[in-house]
Each structure stands twice: as structure tokens, then as C-alpha cells.
Amino acid sequence: MNKIKSLADLRELKDKLQAKTKLRDKSESPEQNVQVKVAMATCCIASGSRETMNYIVDELDKRNIDAVVTQTGCMGYCYAEPTVEVTLPGKEPIVFGYVNEKKADEIIEKYIKGGMLVEGIIPVNYKKIDE
Amino acid sequence: MKDISCHILDIVNNSVHAGAKVIEVNITKNGITGAFILQISDNGTGIPEEMLTKVTDPFITSSKLKKVGLGLPLLKQNAELTGGSLRIHSDSYKGTEVWAIFDSKHIDMIPEGDIALSVKTIISAHPGIELKFRYRENEEEFSMDTRDIKNELGNVKINAAEVLEFIRAMITENIVALKQITLTDKHKTDLIYSNLR
């Protein structure tokens, strides 16, 4: 039987991570980071936003993208849950609806990495032409 | 809600909104009687007395954005479906304590789900909040405190992806180990169970 993980095993992991975070801290400046907000209210949890959030956290780390992933309350688009708001540095925030793992992958690959818009945008904050 | 783990995530979010800094999640299972108790307590702002009797009404919420608040009503429904109940105790400015009592042997009992994933999600979304998690099955228990983890980590952030994955694996493995202990003790459990009948 494999040994069950305990707090003592965390020490090994810590030494490994310390070397890694030093490299990362240099490139860390808040306005340069991608910000991802996952809605996590009752409606969102019931439709699977927990899985979406974990997928995004894991994948952004795997693909070496510096991003801040946080959660928000219900944005009022309960019909389109799980919803995710992505803010690229220097751009307006964009809200995506029906974000399952497949959609999340598309958003990371196309929008966060390449700046290309993908389907499923909920028009929340648009400006009129005469504004 | 599909399972217990989703309810945990949902109720803990209430605590976070109430400005809690320390949140405790306790799960106590009794394999003999089937009693399953989920207890979540926090040190947030608490619920005002006049609201306390109304919080399980789905059309009562403290949110100004929407007109429904389904978190506690859904938990109450799922508990009552198994013949259990929901109890809330709250002191203004001291905190709130929620007890959901289930009968895990009832056919309408919802599954436990991925509790480790919920704990991981809570820590990842709110790294500043101290979470104490305890899972007790029969006489054995596993407990975890983010304060211990932070002490161990030093200057490494608790919401680093590797640390989060470690926490999830640690909880999953320990819960599985707890279940194996009860299986090898099955003989003993069966004896007590038959005595009760």
C-alpha cells in the first residue's frame, strides 16, 4: 500500500516550489496579469462551476500563463452558468457563458493566449456608438 | 445540488460573504446508525435575529442583486428528504453555525461527492481565509488546518497549483484510508448493528 500523504510530505514540496517561485516573482506585476473571475454562487455550483474553476487553475499553471483566478458571486446570468469573466491586460472585461472544460480550454488557447474572441460571449458591458 | 461537497462549497461561500476569517467544516459519520452530520461554523457577522427564522425561505436573501437565495433552502430540502433536519445558530457579530443532519442509510440520501475538490476550491479562491476541515467516520478522524499548512510552507503561497493539488490528494487519500479502516472492522460493526435491531 502506498504511504498516505501527510503534512510532513509538504516540506519536500516546499523546497521544490521555493526555487520555482523565485523565477516567477520577477515577472509578477498585477496589471500585466490576466484576471479570471469564475462565478461561484448556488446556481453556478449546481451547474458545475467548481470543475470549471479547477480546470482553469490547473491548465493556466500547466501552460505557464501568469493569471489571477478568483471567484465572484452570481452575476445574474443563471441561465448561462457556469460563467467566467476574463480581463486581459489593458482590455475591457469579457463574460463567457456555458463554460465547461472544453469551452474553458478554447478560451485559454484562443482568447487568453491569442487574443481571439470565441463564441459564447454574454454582452454585459457594451458601449453605445454615441458615448 | 448534486452532492454534499457542492453544499459545503455553497455554505462556506455564505460565510465568506459574512466576512468570516476562520471557517470550520466538520463531517461526522456514524456507520452504525447512518447518521451523517455536516457542521459548518464561522466567525463572520452573523445573521440578525429577525432574519434567522426566514433564511430557509427561498425568496429571502441579503443580496441586492437578485431576489432569491437558494443555498440554505436546498440544503434544508436535501436533509429533510432523508428524514433529517437543518439547524442554524447565530450570534450577531460572533458568527454562525449551520448543522445539517442526514440519514445516510435513507434511499434519498445524496452522495458525498468530491469533498477534497471542494476544499481545494475554497482554499484556491480564498487563500486569506483559515479553513479547518475535519472528517470523522465512526471512531477514526482526519483533520486539516490551513494555518498548519501555511506554517509549513513559509513563504510559498498556499494557492500555488502544486500545493492545491497536494492538499486535494492528501484529503482524498486520508478519506479513502478512513473508509478502509471501517471495512476491516466490518465484523465488529455488524455485531453492534445486529444488537440494535
Give residue-wise pLDDT tens across range A4-38.
Answer: 777 778 887 887 777 766 555 544 555 678 888 99
Q: pLDDT tens for residues A110-127?
A: 888 888 888 888 887 666
Q: Which of B152, B164, B181 to mutate to test the interface with A (most CBs of A within 10 A)?
A: B152
Q: What does the pLDDT read at residue B87? A: 92
Q: Which of B4, B10, B183 to mutate to test the interface with A (most CBs of A within 10 A)?
A: B10
**Across the interface, do A4 and B177 touch by the CB < 8 Å criterion?**
yes
CA distance A6 to chain B (A): 6
**pTM of structure:** 0.86
Q: pLDDT tens for residues A67-102?
A: 888 888 888 888 888 999 998 888 888 899 999 889
Q: What does the pLDDT read at residue B2? A: 85
Name every residue whose Cβ is closer than 8 Å to that of residue B48 and which is 6 or more positions away in sequence. Answer: B92
**Across the interface, do B155 and A18 touch by the CB < 8 Å criterion?**
yes
Cell match 476569517: residue?
B21
Cβ–Cβ under 8 Å, residues B88 and B97: yes
Q: Within chain B, where are the H helices?
A: 4-17, 49-52, 71-81, 115-125, 146-153, 161-184, 186-196
Question: What ipTM score was computed for the predicted complex, to two decimals?
Answer: 0.83
Q: What does the pLDDT read at residue B194? A: 47
Q: What does the pLDDT read at residue A81? A: 85
Interface of chain B toward chain A, CB-CB under 8 angstroms: 1-2, 6, 9-10, 13, 17, 63, 65-66, 69-71, 74, 117-118, 120-121, 124-126, 148-149, 152-157, 160-166, 169-170, 173-174, 177
**Across the interface, do A74 and B63 touch by the CB < 8 Å criterion?**
yes
CA distance A54 to chain B (A): 7
CA distance B30 to chain A (A): 23
Q: Which of A10, A42, A50 is closest, CB to CB, to B152?
A: A10
C-alpha cell at B180: 478502509
Cβ–Cβ under 8 Å, residues A49 and B153: no
Per-10-residue mean pLDDT, chain B, length 197: 90 89 90 86 88 86 81 91 91 88 91 90 90 86 89 82 88 86 60 50
Q: How many CB atoms lie within 10 A of CB A28?
A: 10
Q: What does the pLDDT read at residue B190? A: 55
Q: What does the pLDDT read at residue B38? A: 93
Q: How confident is the model at residue A1 (pLDDT cuts 50, 70, 90)?
A: very low
Q: Which of B74, B125, B148 is closest, CB to CB, to A71?
A: B125
